[in-house]
Amino acid sequence: MKILLTGGAGFIGSHLTKELLEQGHAVICLDNLDTYYDPKIKRQNIRQFSADPNYLFIEGDIRDRTLLDALFRLYGCDTVVHLAARAGVRPSVENPALYFDVNVNGTLSILEAMRQAGVRRMVMASSSSVYGDAERVPFTESDACDRPLSPYAASKRSAELLAHTYHHLYGFDISCLRFFTVYGPGQRPEMAISQFTERVLNGLPITLFGDGTTARDYTYIDDITHGILKAIDHLNGYAVLNIGGSDPISLRDLVSLIEKATGETALIDWQPMQPGDVERTYADVSLARKQIGYMPSVRIDEGILKFVNWYKLKHELVTA
């Protein structure tokens, strides 16, 4: 396959690129290297692919229809993996217009370019945030998802609805994958596990919001790329699928795992819950298992240890 991968220079995108190239696919990576976090990190992510003849990096924005039309015309991509998005729940509360412009208008721009080019296959990244503070756990794809708690969540749900419209009207095969808090080597520096690890290892306090009982269903990066690859191979009609670890952990217990993996004690600065945050996430992955054969394999304790070991190596903190 020849795949247009949006957001391909990011954390998930660069891990996925490695897998796709190893499988023999051609990857056209489109990324605007925005400044949500240091673009140097993204350039480092993709440097490893620069000599691969099946890889091409294009710096550009998903809202640029002229560019998208040219990419489809020039490179003949047959499948789109759409990971590009403005990320982050809390920042979206401060700038909702930007989040809707990128995550909704950007998705619409891609769908329209696909329609004009006759491309009908897409795997799209959605988010567990669309469930809001659902009372019933675990979260299932049939839940209403009509009470988002942040502009980010609302923008991701809106993108799912757009995808369904293009399936219904134009016969697109689209799978929307609801990712549950992705972590692992190379993850974004502002994410909790990355921040906590850095600060604990350097003897700095970490800020925890709430009382420590909030829980997240963390998903190791290898399980996420496994789910995307499975979805690509099983594109048929319209699907919404949870891609998660299906094993939530409380904030307190997460910090304990990081303490154990680092051998350090965390200094904690407790703060009130933040607007837009949810109490818990918990993925029911039975539908993804049935439809595409997805099954998470990395437990949170294993994943935290892998991440901490990677972090130490990267920052030369390994003790003799």
- The structure tokens listed for 200 are 């604990």
Instruction: Characterize the bridge pairing of strands 205-209 and 55-59.
Output: unpaired
Do the beta carbons of residue 124 and residue 105 sit within 8 Å? no
Do the beta carbons of residue 69 and residue 116 sit within 8 Å? yes
Annotated catalytic residue 55 = no
Half-sphere exposure of 191 (CA within 13 A, CB side): 17
Q: Given 55, 152, 218, 220, which residue is catalytic?
A: 152
Whether residue 138 is preceded by a cis peptide bond, meaning omega within 30 degrees of 0, is: yes
CB neighbour list of residue 291: distance below 8 Å, 6 or more residues apart: 234, 239, 241
How far apart are the C-alpha atoms of 160 and 203, rounded to whole Å?
A: 42
> In sequence order, which ranges of 171-250 are alpha helices (DSSP H)?
192-201, 221-233
Q: What is the DSSP string of 5-58?
A: EETTTSHHHHHHHHHHHHTT-EEEEEE---TTS-HHHHHHHHHTTTT-TTEEEE
Most distant CA pair in the chain, distance: 61
Beta bridge partners of residue 56, listed in sequence order: 28
Q: List, by residue number, the catalytic residues.
A: 152
